Amino acid sequence: MAPSPLRFLSADRPLREARVVVLGVPLERGVSFRGGPALAPNAIRQASWSLESFSHHVRKDLVDVGVCDLGDLDVERSREEVFRELEGSMQRLLRAGKRVVVLGGDHSVSLGCVRGAMGALGKVQVLVLDAHSDLRDEYLGDRFSHACVSRRLSELVDRLVIVGARSFFGPDLDEPFFAELGEIPKKLSREAPLWLSLDLDVLDPGIFPGVTNPEPGGLSYGDLLDVFRLLRGYGVVGMDVVELAPPFDPSGVSAVTAAKLVIEAILHLWG
């Protein structure tokens, strides 16, 4: 792993003492439209320092959780090599009882995360928050494009739920994976560990324009907080936050929102 010149807000605990670990994976190989996810992990880290560590929603403070920032994986090699190291890192961290937040990167990093979670914990269910179905078998000859992530995940896990999708390629509309916000509790099991994949384009681009593939409509910031509240009893072991494209929001508001969502997710799920 390469040390980052930055660390996430209040992520100052040594690994052995931390309950939650932040790991950056600035991989950008699977995008199909606009670039920028390679810049996202450090954009989120930098933006986090503009925020308070305390959440008034749950009345908890990040400084009391115990967070460690491990920096970034080295992505200057083949995508499969990156996936293998990410998978191994997830296995080690989850077996050690840590909870993990992965800062992508494009959405393909979810595959390495879920593979690692399965290696550590056995059966894992996945909740994907995404504007796009991502159920193509391949896109432009690439089976690991971000347009294929949910298809690849569906081949790994027994239970996949997609919330927030509003962009489909046609045949995928007949798939059983899609759910509305209010259906989340009945779509998930409380018996199996849960991995949460947050593709930031699930948000309305009117409030979050800095993504690789903006899609009109979408969830609000408050909707995502509602999801975090819903998931408290579902054994979430980790999450990835992907597809931020900082160059497409020069205001920096998208990066700040992403950082705030990471803070709230940690405090809602593991605080």
Residue 72 inside a domain? The answer is yes
* H-only helix segments in 122-252: 149-156, 184-187, 221-230
Count structural domains, the chain.
Answer: 1
pLDDT confidence of residue 130: 97
pLDDT confidence of residue 237: 98
Residue 4 inside a domain? The answer is no
Residue 7 inside a domain? The answer is no
- CATH code for the domain in which residue 174 is found: 3.40.800.10
User: Domain of 224?
Assistant: 15-270
pLDDT confidence of residue 66: 98
Low-confidence ranges of the chain (pLDDT < 70): 1-5, 30-33, 139-142, 144, 146
Residues 6+ apart with CB under 8 A from 256: 47, 50, 51
pLDDT confidence of residue 198: 98
Residue 181 inside a domain? The answer is yes
Residue 249 inside a domain? The answer is yes
Q: How far, in Å, are 10, 13, 158 from residue 70 at the CA level?
A: 13, 10, 30
pLDDT confidence of residue 108: 93
Residue 1 inside a domain? The answer is no
Q: What is the pTM of this model?
A: 0.95
pLDDT confidence of residue 3: 46
How do residues 115-137 score in pLDDT, each as one tens digit? 999 999 999 999 999 999 999 88
Residue 252 inside a domain? The answer is yes
Residue 189 inside a domain? The answer is yes
